[in-house]
Chain A
Amino acid sequence: MKIKPYSQNAYTPVPSAFTKFRRNCVIWQFFRFIVINIKMTVLILKSHH
């Protein structure tokens, strides 16, 4: 992907190579899977009245 100066995509952050690696790293994502599930469970518990 090439960024074209003064186009709409010239002003947005883009992930670094390390960030992209972490997004697909199975070991790291396994821990994120647990974290996301915990966050969602807490949200559900807070939401039922």
Chain B
Amino acid sequence: MARVVILGGGVSGHTAATFLAKWLGRDHEVVVVTPNAKWNWIPSNIWVGVGGMRKEEVIFELDPVYKKAGIDYRQAKAISIHPEGGADVAKQFVTIEYTGQGKEGNSEQLTYDYLVNATGPKLNFGATEGLGPDNGYTVSVCTADHAVHASEKLDELIAQMKSGEEKKILIGTGHGMCTCQGAAFEYTFNVDHKLREEGVRDKATITYISNEYELGDFGVGGMHIKLGGYVTSGKVFAESLYTERNVKWIKRAHVNKVEADRVHYESLDGSMHEEEFDFSMLIPPFAGAGMKAYDKAGEDITSKIFNPGGFMFVDADYSKGAKPFEDWDAADWPSYLQNPTYKNMYAVGIAFAPPHLISKPMKSPNGTPINPTPPRTGMPSAMMGKAVAQSLKDIILNSATEPTHTANMSEMGAACVASAGKGIFSGSAVAMTMYPVIPNYKKYEYGRDLNGTFGEIGLAGHWVKHFLHFAFLWKAKLKPFWTIIPE
């Protein structure tokens, strides 16, 4: 009997766990270690953040779902990995510390045959002074609780605007190395939509601040689409929307400090600026979960397993990271998500270490990096979770000696639906696809297949996003026919 331990129960970890439990049956063990008691459909947090959805509509209890699936659920966080075992434990294990289930604070050594690291991001609000809802001055929509808090603050602001006050709203990225610009993009236009519905849009100045070189970069180096008889950059498409909605934008910005009423930021040209706000939602940079790793003798081997950001090394070509952007290649990206040193360890979603950025690295004259980091969320992370589950199924049940399925971001596409306002007849969203995620300028003139890369805004996009909300929650709850809903 094999035991597969999955660290993290987000999109990629939950996908891997549920498929493995289905395929392996009760003859093998699937264990999920996650500090959270509830699963969160994060894309809909945007709507919670403007009061368009209740928190309860985007979360559900994990325990009954895992019981139904036969998954051993441990509400705990992973502290360290011991891929060679230890002095007292011959088999490889992870040390976990419980955060719930009545065992809060208790530690345990959990042995494994196969380990899937799907720990997702640590929201690194500490990277920028004054950033975040807990110890700073900005709100967030990164968790359901953060989104509820953001909605409450927004309601307070709207009440003040209704009494005649004019307000400044600042939304965007809170550091030069952020990813997930899509969430800031969505929140910007959902706030705009909400203010129009409340009849106070004329009382607000909305500004978007971003570490992107150009709007529409989204950490994937932007994209080209066919539009109006032209092949045009996504920058044009994005700027058009900001102009239409009367949103100012600041790009190439590294926010280095947040105060109660303003942010301080450095521009890519090295100049320093301030921007005032009354309400601000800034996305934090992401870091790895911060696990340590030790060999059998107890020596710290963290740097052998994880990069300095805390992301796990897999079968990528990391030598290319030190080379210029022009030397990067689609082949640098990992296929099997397998750790090269310990072959029974895999990393999926945010947890794997990318070989390098996707967008071109940029530095200010002061040496400050100002560029988006690679997104590994949403559809690609679910595909990674499923591909690793398929490989492990073949290894465990069919005696395969190597992984059998790939999830290479240079060979997969991504679909993204970015809400620009909620409402069955008044809503809109930008529906986008790109293929492949990693641009390949050797194969495609514009880096991507223009037949698989498109974007349009409209009511239909909102319907798609709302449909996906229900479909993916249905799938995550393992309701009837959940497997036919694709990743």
Instruction: Select from chain A the residue with minimum beta-carbon distance to B459.
Output: A29
- Which of B240, B383, B415 interacts with A48 by CB under 8 Å? B383
Is the pair A36, B460 in contact by a Cβ cutoff of 8 Å? yes
Residues of chain B within 8 A (CB-CB) of A3 are 243
Interface string of B363-389 (1 = CB under 8 A from A): 000000000000000010001001100
A30 to B236, CA, bound (A): 26
Is the pair B428, A47 in contact by a Cβ cutoff of 8 Å? no
Q: Is B435 an interface residue (CB 8 A)?
A: yes
Q: Is B464 an interface residue (CB 8 A)?
A: yes
Q: Is B454 an interface residue (CB 8 A)?
A: yes
Interface string of A25-37 (1 = CB under 8 A from B): 1100110110011
Q: A9-B242, A23-B428 are in contact. Are A47 and B461 (CB under 8 A)?
A: no
Q: Is A13 an interface residue (CB 8 A)?
A: yes
Q: A8-B248, A22-B458, A32-B458 are in contact. Are A46 and B463 (CB under 8 A)?
A: no
Residues of chain A within 8 A (CB-CB) of B243 are 1, 3, 9, 12, 14
A49 to B487, CA, bound (A): 13
Is the pair B457, A13 in contact by a Cβ cutoff of 8 Å? no
Instruction: Select from chain B the residue with minimum beta-carbon distance to A7.
Output: B248
Q: Is B412 an interface residue (CB 8 A)?
A: yes
- Which of A1, A12, A30, A44 interacts with B415 by CB under 8 Å? A44
Residues of chain B within 8 A (CB-CB) of A47 are 383, 411-413, 435
Is the pair A29, B458 in contact by a Cβ cutoff of 8 Å? yes
A40 to B471, CA, bound (A): 14
Q: Is A15 an interface residue (CB 8 A)?
A: yes
CB of B454, distance to nearest CB on chain A (Å): 6
Residues of chain A within 8 A (CB-CB) of B408 are 49
A37 to B461, CA, bound (A): 10
A49 to B386, CA, bound (A): 10
Is the pair A1, B458 in contact by a Cβ cutoff of 8 Å? no
Instruction: Select from chain A the residue with minimum beta-carbon distance to B458.
Output: A23
Q: Count residues on chain B whose CB falls below 8 Å from chain A CBs.
A: 40
Interface string of B35-73 (1 = CB under 8 A from A): 000000000000000000000000000000000000000
Interface string of B433-472 (1 = CB under 8 A from A): 1010000000000000000101011111101100000000
A40 to B453, CA, bound (A): 10
Q: Is B249 an interface residue (CB 8 A)?
A: yes
Is the pair B460, A43 in contact by a Cβ cutoff of 8 Å? no
A49 to B387, CA, bound (A): 8
Is the pair A23, B459 in contact by a Cβ cutoff of 8 Å? yes
Is the pair B463, A33 in contact by a Cβ cutoff of 8 Å? yes
Is the pair B460, A8 in contact by a Cβ cutoff of 8 Å? no
Q: Is B317 an interface residue (CB 8 A)?
A: no
Residues of chain A within 8 A (CB-CB) of B236 are 12-13
- Which of A12, A32, A39, A49 interacts with B407 by CB under 8 Å? A49
**Closest 8 A/B residue pairs (Cβ):** A47-B412, A32-B460, A33-B460, A23-B458, A9-B243, A43-B413, A29-B460, A12-B239
Instruction: List 24 interface pairs A-B (beta carbons < 8 Å), by A numbering.
Output: A1-B244, A9-B239, A12-B243, A15-B244, A23-B428, A23-B457, A23-B458, A24-B425, A24-B428, A25-B459, A29-B463, A39-B452, A40-B415, A40-B464, A43-B414, A46-B412, A46-B452, A47-B411, A47-B435, A48-B387, A48-B412, A49-B387, A49-B405, A49-B412
Q: Beyond A12-B239, A44-B486, list 13 extra A-B contacts (CB 8 Å).
A: A8-B249, A9-B242, A12-B236, A12-B240, A12-B242, A24-B425, A24-B426, A32-B460, A33-B463, A43-B433, A44-B415, A48-B387, A48-B412
